Amino acid sequence: MNTRGVIILLITYFAIMSEESFSQEKLQYYDLTKVESYVINNKGTESPFTGKFTNYKGKGTYVCKKCGAALYYSSDKFESDCGWPSDFVEAQLEPGRYGIAIFAGGCFWGVEYFLQKAKGIISVTSGYTGGQVKNPTYKEVCTGNTGHAEAIKIVYDPDKTSYEKLLKLFLEIHDPTQIGRQGPDIGDQYRSEIFYMNEDQKNTAEKNLNILKAKGLKIATALTKASEFYPAEAYHQDYYFNNGKVPYCHAYTKRF
């Protein structure tokens, strides 16, 4: 193992050893899958070359799946040739620092475009979630047979914004009354859906959806517990910013 790899192992060791020094009552934890719990809570490791982010080149910030703490930027990734769960290095050094939100509302290019410009955003990643196929490709999702929705995963700074503010913005930059489509994009992958990470997010979403319903909107937006999120291919990331264009089926409409 190279010197850099040794340094990361040492950082992780001290992070784990200092875990008990934090007050559990002050932390906000997200729900974990069985595999994620094995790695984080039981200090397990992934098998070499099996992680879905092993060869992923998209830009963004890697965060702890349990507490939302930012771990490192994508530009800091390097090949260590070991099975250490580097996605969770330093997770306990800054517990609860960042929040995570997952929304689906039509083509992820447009949703990404508006949310990236919001205050307090650390990163926005376009991807696929809510389906039954592992590691789906864009071509597979477009068939409508995988059950996935085109979605975005947001990492945000709670000192500068809140989940509720981002949720409201999401509900104002797409049409939450449309079923299985968004504008000219037709198909179940373009559905409107909120994927909540915990009960607080679920309650916040229910409250705001009810506000819109009370205003007479026939809300079609589904509310679903978050499942595995798969980052989309690199050419989908930062699409409009890289191409100098603007969304064709998303626009801001004040609803709150």
Q: What residue type is assigned to position 98 of the chain?
A: Y
Provide the pLDDT for residue 37.
82
CATH topology for 99-243 is Peptide Methionine Sulfoxide Reductase; Chain A (3.30.1060)
Instruction: Give yes or no for residue 59 having a pLDDT over 80.
Output: no
CATH topology for 3-19+27-88 is 2.170.150
Query: pTM above the 0.75 mark?
Result: no
Say which of 64, 67, 107, 249 is annotated catalytic.
107
pLDDT digits (tens, 9 = 90+) for 71-100: 665 655 666 555 544 453 333 334 467 899
Q: How many whole angstroms separate alpha carbon 22 and alpha carbon 83?
A: 27
Output the DSSP codes for 156-205. Answer: E-TTT--HHHHHHHHHHSS-TT-SSEETTEESGGG-EEEEESSHHHHHHH
Domains of the chain, residue spans = 3-19+27-88, 99-243
107 is catalytic: yes
The helix (run of H) or strand (run of E) holding residue 248 is: none
pLDDT digits (tens, 9 = 90+) for 129-188: 999 999 999 999 999 999 999 999 999 999 999 999 999 999 999 999 999 999 999 999
Read off the tokens for 162. 């809140």
Cβ proximity of 109 and 247 under 8 Å: yes
